Amino acid sequence: MKILLTGASSFTGAHYAATLAARGHEVTATFTRGEGDYADGGVRQDRVARVTGCAKPLWNASFGDDRFTDTLASGGFDALCHHAADVTDYKSPAFDAAGAIANNTRNAHAVLASVAADGGVLMLTGSVFAGGRGAGSDGLPHFSPYGLSKGLSNELLAYLAAAAGVPCGEVVIPNPFGPLEEPRFTAYLVKTWMKEEAAGCNTPLYVRDNLHVGLLALAYADAVERLAARRPAFERLEPSGYIESQGAFAQRYAREMSGRLGKPCVLNLADQTAFSEPRIRVNTDPLDEAALGFDEAAAWDEAAADYLRRLG
């Protein structure tokens, strides 16, 4: 297929682009900035280099702007994979959800008219932290204004896609981890262990769904292909990985990384007493790793090798 993918410089987006290309698809990846703006020597530069090595880049293009709509209108794309989202200050309680929804859905009517004219499909990226996704405690609320913006953006786009006659799907992301990830929890663990210091887990009682990004990318590519082939009115996939407490996952990470990094990987679990977030939030669709061609041991090897390369 000929695929237009937004959000390719993100952690998961870079893996999506590489996996789709490896499965024989022709991928055009959009970037909101110019090529030189990603040359910062950091992990995002590494992601962009990976994407541009397997996909055609479209620089300075955001969802719904003139450059984006012109490319979509003239490109003959079989699928629009809308992975990008406005994440400016996404952790802030003052996050501008209304502005983010506007940016995520800009010129949606024109965009979907082009997709419909080409007989294409629309695949959206959802988040387990948006309301109503996955399973868990406390009634599945939105985690934050950012989660709200993701959920409502996708609901609006799915509604407009149905009106335009465009088959639409959504892949809901849980907690991805693996090579080229953002400097979050697992990156903190490895960075601390590389200094041969003890790492801590402050929220060991939260139950979350941690999924290797390589397996997530395989599930995503498979979902795009199935959507294009089956063309249901709407299809949602909630791919699941290691469902366990964050303390148990941190212990799993220590076991897997110790031998691969050649470090003791000491871990201390805190006595968690505060629960400002829902205690349980997970996805619901287990994946057939063999059918998807996923090698779990090789994936852990790849994650460790990436850390060793970047952290020394």
What DSSP string describes 282-310?
Answer: E--EE--HHHHT--HHHHHHHHHHHHHHH
What's the angle, vertex CA 83, arms to CA 35 and CA 299, rounded to 5? 90
Res. 80: pLDDT tops 90:
yes
Encoded tokens for 85: 């989202």
Give residue-wise pLDDT tens across range 183-212: 889 999 999 999 999 999 999 999 999 999
- How far CA 264 is from CA of 189, 193, 195, 254, 267, in Å, comes to 12, 7, 10, 8, 9
* Closest among 168, 163, 155, 174 to 80, alpha carbons compared: 168
Res. 49: pLDDT tops 80:
yes
- DSSP bridge pairs for 234: 168
What pLDDT does residue 91 have? 85
What pLDDT does residue 179 have? 95
Mean pLDDT of the chain: 95
Place of tokens 């020597």: 41
23-27 average pLDDT score: 98
Encoded tokens for 291: 């059918």
Give residue-wise pLDDT tens across range 125-165: 999 989 999 999 988 889 899 999 999 999 999 999 999 99
Class of domain 2-176+210-242 (CATH, top level) = alpha beta
What pLDDT does residue 310 have? 84
CA 124 to chain centre: 11
- DSSP letter, residue 258: H
Dihedral sign of CA atoms 263, 269, 270, 275 in order: positive
What pLDDT does residue 181 have? 92
